[in-house]
Chains A and B, each alone.
Chain A
Amino acid sequence: MANTPDYSWPPMGQRKVIGQRVKRLDGPVKATGRAKYASDTKPSGMLYGAYVACPHAHAKVTSVDTSEAEKMPGVKAVHVMAPAGTEIQWQGWEVAAVAALTEMQARDAARRIKVAYEAMPHLVHEEDLSKAGANARKGSEQKGGDADQAFQQAEAVSDGQYGFPVITHCCLESHGSVVQWQGETASAWPSTQDVTGYAGQLAASLKIPATNIKVQMDYVGGGFGSKFSPGAWATVAANLSQKAGGRPVRLFLDRQMEQTIAGNRPSAFAKIKIAGKKDGTITAWDSASWGSGGFQPGGPPPQPYVFVNIPNYRRVHTGVSLNVGPSQAWRAPGNQAASYLTCCAMEDFAAKIGMDPIEVFRKNVNYAQPAFQERYQFQLSKAAELAEWKKLWHPRGQSGAAPVKRGLGVAVGTWGGRGHASNCRTTIHPDGSVLVEIGTQDLGTGTRTIITQVAAESLGLPVGAVKLEIGRSDQPRDGASGGSSTVGGVSTSTRKSAVNALEKLFEAAAPALSALPEQLEAVDGKIQVKGSPAKSLTWKEACRKLGTASIAEMGSFNGRNDGAGLSSEGAAGVQIADVSVDTETGLVSINRYVAVQDCGTVINPKLAESQVYGAIIMGISTALFEERIMDRQTGHMLNADMEFYKLAGIGDVGDIVVHMDIRPENDSKGVIGLGEPPAIPICAAVGNAVANAIGVRVAHLPMTPEHVLNTLEGRNA
């Protein structure tokens, strides 16, 4: 048995492809409309599906009559998911579905399904805990140190209330799939974040072997944490397909259902007190928080956030069960709320003692995990420099007499981002062509591009010499793309697979170079003897030595320790928002937004920056505009569309400055995921900037004119 190959990354200065600003490989098909998404799929004979959704927030189904619908033109199948007796817990609950020759026919027929309900009392609001009654479930109090004594002895105590609303994922491609179920076999073309896990999950509900389910997805129109599971939706499509004699059925949520039931970020409200000294040192934390993830109330966001070792603390959380669509993982679950609650409370403490909040953050950075302390100090300085903090920041509310007030706010974030378990196969053919296969998915993060860069770097080839195939269930198993786990997983498995394949090629090529395999290296499209580059074969010449036998080598990563420092976890970031608030109209606008972010080894700086830009733009959208609005009387979501559920547009996000913290000490950590980390601090930074501008805390996000003006006028929002 040969020694384990050296899988470690080439040193920073010696990389040829990794670290290059390679344009995303699927850019041409996306920028020309040729990328085919699940919702673009149209297998032969495909039918169109439509749902019947419950109009009540809480009800019991008393009867379902499909007889009229079944006779409608074009109808091929009707399926009831919620028969009489079903208790429905939110508006939009899927009761029945129809498949027909055209979408219009399916919708017409769905309207003819007669469902009778017995309406029941509902609760759809949680801001006012006193009205939640038995739906509120208070957890046990957690304590450390002596909070009572610390508050009694404190030189200063700040207190505030903070609100973080439910927002929806609003994926542009709605949830759904095309499914064909014929007896013991099925094919699925889903919109998913988990290609290789999909068959297993669907198999459980269809009761056929997972090996008989083929899954393919080339592109997905957004997920952000909401598309891990086939959910009930793929099963419904499969049942319609089966009933329609095995014809494929396309079943996607319409926009209203997508907004109502397909995923949202839980709310978080809190009353927080901080005790400390006048030099900025925090001595105690006290929080009473509440929130809802839907019918399942969910747990608390971690508090205090980042500054986890505040010695004296007391916290209690109340979960509220609501009759609303269920929450889903939302890009850094819990962490956005946690950053908002902690960083806003700390900014309020800084204002209370009249101190610069960056100095307060610095003063307390020793409460962060040791591995992060130096990094936060560096990043606070760097962000302050890029945001011109010294020049532009002013004590809270000292923003002049003009009606438009400018303010700056700071916030921090952290995320693990360790790679998930992943398997990759690299095939080198005698003609020199190279195929890399992983059953992963590219959510638009650039996964295709970075896998190809890693393989090319490892084989000493240009990016164009490597063919990549992803997105199918019959490829080597990868994990779900969530929690920033993909880049660490696929880059590690790809590196191992490519190095393993190269070892085999060295064995085949060594005799022709009169060398031992371990004396060879792959550089610039050649296989050469280390130290004697004149003794070389071109890549193609070397591959011809394989005769007729292709090389196919796996690379596997268990998701924990890769043994070579290829990937790890623990990203940190500091962000600063610079806003203007018109105190006459309540309008908040972003002047400039600065992000300093590390993520270990950066495989493609261009794509890494895009991730940070994207996270910030999405975050600004949530901070300024986004909020699910529920009607108390009907229990309906009132803005279940994209007109009144407002996303930021191209003119709403100001200027964004991204600084990737790629110092060698960060690079040496290996690859760390980047999808979540920069998405965390935005609401907090914007909220703090607004408070800095207008001199008073706007408790509830989003920072809409309504909330800003209510705060300025002293009205309860």
Chain B
Amino acid sequence: MSSKKGFSRRGFLQGAGVGGVLGTGLLEREAEAAPAGAAIAGPGAVPITLTINGKPVNLTVEPRVTLIDALRDYVDLTGAKRVCDRGTCGACTVLMNGKSVYSCSVLAIDAQGKSIETIEGMTSPEKMHPVSQAFWENDAQQCGYCTSGFVVACKGFLDEHPNPTEEDVKHGLGGNLCRCGTYMGVRAAALQAAKQMKGGKNG
């Protein structure tokens, strides 16, 4: 008897569109925030354009598709991972307008008009970003599943904090989790990358 149990974003958007039928405070706020006559996206798939790694990418996705799923399943950019699926672990981290975001917690349609940088745009095995290089040199990866998120979060952090202390690193990268236990390497990598990004003007 579970057919009505699941709460879908489709229902959410429909509810919001007709003025908060579901009646929660959140939905009422969303409805109030929407300008009169605003176009309602969905519930079916809609064409969207995302700016990913500097290039426009046209997709057709349902409005409830998250940015991480759009990247992984529609664009085949699989560096960012979906792990906790609810904004806890940071494995899905990408940069949006230069800031780290959990891409599992951003809808793809809401990422339109914003500059999205994924790990694929930031670095490559042939031309490693200093953060990737520092992760390699300090062995800041084991299974590697969290590593993409950590590398992107580290770049986002260092862009805003070019001279971090180790305590700053512990705080700034506290939004990413690793199960293999690579934190010692990550701490050293972040501090090394900070030096190299300044020295090499490579950020």
Q: Check A27–B139 contact: CB distance below 8 A.
A: yes
Whether the pair A647, B79 counts as a contact (CB closer than 8 A) is no
Residues of A close to B8: CB separation below 8 A: 108
Query: Of B15-23, B25-33, B145-153, B194-202, which stretch is located at the interface?
Result: B145-153
Residue B95 CB within 8 A of the other chain: no
CB neighbors of A among B179-198 (8 A)? 179-187
Q: Which residues of B contact A647 (CB under 8 A)?
A: 177, 179
Contact A24 B89 (CB under 8 A): no
Q: Mark A26-47, 1 if CB is under 8 A from B, else 0.
A: 1111111111110110100000
A651 contacts B171, C-beta separation under 8 Å: yes
Decide if B176 is an interface residue (CB 8 Å cutoff).
Answer: yes
Q: Which residues of A contact B83 (CB under 8 A)?
A: 172-174, 255, 642
| Chain B residues within 8 Å of A171, by CB | 179
Query: Chain B nearest CB: distance from A650 CB in Å?
Result: 4
- Chain B residues within 8 Å of A649, by CB: 174, 176-177, 183
Chain A residue at minimal CB-CB distance from B171: A651
A643 and B79 CA atoms in complex are apart in Å by 23
Is A444 interfacial (CB-CB < 8 Å)?
yes
A315: Cβ under 8 A from any B Cβ? no
- Across-interface contacts of B135 in A (CB, < 8 A): 27, 30-31
Contact status B148-A610, CB under 8 Å: no
Q: A172 contacts B182, CB within 8 Å? A: no
- For residue A102, CB closer than 8 A to chain B, the reply is yes
Q: B185's contact among A170, A443, A610, by CB below 8 Å, is which? A: A610
How far does the Cβ of A152 sit from chain B's closest Cβ, in whole Å? 46
Give the residues in chain B near A643, CB-CB below 8 Å. 84, 86, 88
* B180 lies within 8 A of A222 (CB): yes
A642 adjacent to B182 (CB under 8 Å): no
Q: Does A111 contact B (CB under 8 A)?
A: yes
The answer on a CB contact under 8 Å between A102 and B73 is: yes
The answer to whether A112 and B3 touch (CB under 8 A), given A27-B135, A254-B85, A651-B174, is yes
The reply to whether A111 and B3 contact each other, CB–CB distance below 8 Å, is: yes
Asked whether A32 and B141 contact (CB < 8 A) given A255-B84, A614-B182, A642-B177, the answer is no
Contact A104–B143 (Cβ < 8 Å): no
User: A606: CB under 8 A from chain B?
Assistant: yes
Q: How far is the CA of A219 from the CA of B184 in the complex (A)?
A: 22
Determine which of B69, B136, B183 lies in contact with A650 in the assembled complex, contact meaning CB atoms within 8 Å. Answer: B183
Q: Let me know if A116 is at the binding interface, CB within 8 A.
A: yes
List of B residues within 8 angstroms of A220 by Cβ: 143
Q: Are B137 and A444 in contact (CB under 8 A)?
A: no
Residues in B whose Cβ lies below 8 Å from that of A412? none
- Is B86's CB under 8 angstroms from A255's CB? yes
Least Cβ distance of A265 to chain B in Å?
Answer: 14
Task: Write the nearest CB–CB distance from B107 to chain A, whole angstroms.
Answer: 12
Least CB distance from B71 to A in Å reads: 11
**Interface size for chain B: under 10, 10 to 19, 20 to 34, or 35 or more residues?**
35 or more
Q: Which bucket holds chain A's interface residue count?
A: 35 or more
A550-606 with Cβ < 8 A to chain B: 606
Say whether B111 faces chain A, with CB atoms less than 8 Å apart. Answer: no
B141 & A219 in contact (Cβ 8 Å cutoff): no
Q: Kindly name the residue among B76, B139, B148, B169 whose own CB sees the greatest number of chain A CB atoms within 10 A.
A: B139
Residues of chain B lying within 8 A (CB to CB) of residue A48: 73
CA distance A346 to B180 in the complex (A): 30
Asked if residues B119 and A32 are in contact (CB atoms below 8 Å), the reply is yes
List CB contacts (< 8 Å) of A463-496 with chain B.
Answer: none
**Chain B, residue nearest A442 (CB):** B143
- 8 A Cβ contacts from B156-190 to A: 169-171, 173-174, 176-187
Interface assignment of A350: CB less than 8 Å from any CB of chain B: no
A172 touches B170 (CB 8 A): no
Q: Which among A124-132, A400-408, A615-623 touches the partner chain?
A: A615-623
How long is the Cα–Cα vector from A32 to B178 in the complex, in angstroms? Answer: 16
Q: With CB as the reference atom, state the residue of chain A lying closest to B187.
A: A650
Complex contact A445–B142 (CB within 8 A):
yes
Decide: A221 and B177 in contact? CB cutoff 8 A: no
A118 to chain B, nearest CB (A): 13
Within the complex, the shortest CB–CB distance from B184 to chain A, in Å, comes to 5
With the chains together, A647 CA to B179 CA distance in Å? 8
Select B184's contact among A32, A172, A613, beta carbons within 8 Å: A613
Chain B residues contacting A255 (CB-CB under 8 Å) are 83-86
Task: Tell me the complex Cα distance, A203–B85, Å.
Answer: 32
A35 CA / B84 CA spacing, docked (Å): 20
From 95 to 132 in chain B, residues with beta carbon under 8 angstroms from any chain A beta carbon are 118-120, 123-125, 128-129, 131-132
Q: How far is the CB of A680 from chain B (nearest CB, A)?
A: 14
Complex Cα spacing A444 to B193, Å: 22
Specify the chain B residue showing the minimal Cβ separation from A223. Answer: B143
Chain B residue nearest to A68 (CB atoms) is B3
Residues of B contacting A102 with CB < 8 Å? Answer: 62, 73
Nearest B residue to A36 via CB reads B78
Which chain A residue shows the least CB distance to B65? Answer: A104
Taking a contact as CB atoms closer than 8 A, the residue among B2, B120, B142 that contacts A111 in the complex is B2
Q: Are A656 and B184 in contact (CB under 8 A)?
A: yes
Instruction: Evaluate whether A617 and B176 lie within 8 angstroms (CB atoms) in the complex, with A32-B132, A37-B145, A445-B142 already known.
Output: no
Contact: A618 with B179, CB < 8 Å?
A: yes
| CA gap between A55 and B85 in the complex, in Å | 20
Q: Is B144 an interface residue (CB 8 A)?
A: yes
A107 to chain B, nearest CB (A): 7
A221-B143 in contact (CB<8A):
yes
Asked if A541 CB lies within 8 Å of chain B CBs, one says no
Having A610-B139, A649-B183, one finds 6 other A-B pairs with CB under 8 Å, namely A27-B141, A31-B151, A33-B79, A219-B143, A641-B88, A649-B177
Chain B interface residues toward A at CB < 8 A: 1-3, 5-6, 8, 62, 64-65, 69, 72-73, 76, 78-81, 83-86, 88-89, 91, 118-120, 123-125, 128-129, 131-133, 135-137, 139-148, 151, 169-171, 173-174, 176-187
- What are 10 of the A-B contact pairs (CB < 8 Å)? A29-B125, A32-B119, A33-B151, A114-B3, A172-B143, A444-B180, A618-B179, A641-B86, A642-B84, A650-B169
Closest 5 CB pairs between A and B? A33-B79, A617-B181, A221-B145, A444-B142, A444-B143
